Structure 1
Amino acid sequence: MKVTWAYDRGDHRDNHEADLTDPAALEALLHEIHEAAEPVAITIFSDTTDDPDELPPGLQIGLGHPTHAFAVHIADDGGYLTDPTVQSPSGGLSFDLGGVPTEYPAEHLRIRPETAIQIAATYLKTGGEAPHVPTVAE
């Protein structure tokens, strides 16, 4: 699957792309991105669309904030995933989306970064099956 992310660097966009098939390699990459502590939206997909302004079906996660992340399944029946045990932050948080700083509302940020990484690895491992928040037993 393709993994893309970009940062706003003021005078330019710092675009990144990787093709990954190994869930462990994806986890390592996502940990590295998260540890850089620059909030960014990462898109994981297998098929592209004809419209460059439209997100392809896939998964998008937000990493780089120390305590909160997001995960959204991009599909007709998709939506944001939330963990009922995670409290929303006091306000929305900004993540670079395609190199554009984008505010995400607090109610969409009820995932821990480690959980978002686990969701992404499982998404790759299952070949793009609809993601879910893992249970303690998983």
Structure 2
Amino acid sequence: MKVTWTYDRGDHRDNHETDVTEPATLEAVLSEIHEAGEPVVVTIFSDLADDPDDLPSGLQVGLGHPTHAFAVHIADDGGYLHDRSVDAPTQGIRFDFGGVPTEYPVEHLCLNPETAIKVAGTFLATGGDPPHVPAASE
């Protein structure tokens, strides 16, 4: 699957793209992105959409904030994942999305970063099956 993310650097956009086939490799890449401490949206997808203005089906994860993250399944029946054990932050968090700082509301930020990374690894391992928040025993 293809993995892309972009940071706004003021005078330019810092674009990143890589191909990954192993869940452990994806989780390592996402961990590095998260540890950089710059909130950013990472898009994971297998096929480009027919229309370049449409998002391809896949998964987006918001990483880089110390305590909160998000994962959203990009599909006709997709949506944001929520972990009931994670309290939403007190205010929205701004993530770089394609080089554009974008505010994400508190209701979408109900994952911790470790869970978002695990969700992405599982998404790759299953070949793009609809993601879910893992049970405590997974």
TM bracket (short chain): over 0.9
The residue that corresponds to 1:97 in the other structure is 97
Distance 2:7 2:54 in 1: 19
Letter aligned with residue 104 of structure 1: Y
RMSD, matched Cα = 0.6
Distance 1:118 1:75 in 2: 19
The residue that corresponds to 1:53 in the other structure is 53
The residue that corresponds to 1:127 in the other structure is 127
Q: Which runs of 5+ in 2 are unaligned?
A: none
* Identity, % of aligned positions: 72
TM-score using structure 2 length: 0.99
Letter aligned with residue 131 of structure 2: P
Confirm or deny that 1:74 pairs with 2:74.
yes
Matches within 5 A, 1:1-138: 1-138=1-138
Distance 1:51 1:105 in 2: 28
Distance 1:36 1:29 in 2: 11
Shift of 1:64: 0.1
Q: Which moved more, 1:23-32 or 1:49-58?
A: 49-58
Shift of 1:75: 0.3
Shift of 1:70: 0.3
TM-score using structure 1 length: 0.99
SS of residue matched to 1:41:
strand
SS of residue matched to 1:73:
strand
Distance 1:10 1:136 in 2: 41
Deviation digits for residues 44-71 of structure 1, max 9, x if unmatched? 0000013322210000000000000000
Letter aligned with residue 3 of structure 2: V
Q: Which moved more, 1:114-123 or 1:42-51?
A: 42-51
Q: Which runs of 5+ in 1 are unaligned?
A: none
SS of residue matched to 1:95:
strand
Letter aligned with residue 42 of structure 1: V
Q: Number of residues paired by the alignment?
A: 138
Distance 1:70 1:3 in 2: 16
Deviation digits for residues 56-107 of structure 1, max 9, x if unmatched? 0000000000000000000000000000010000010000000100000000
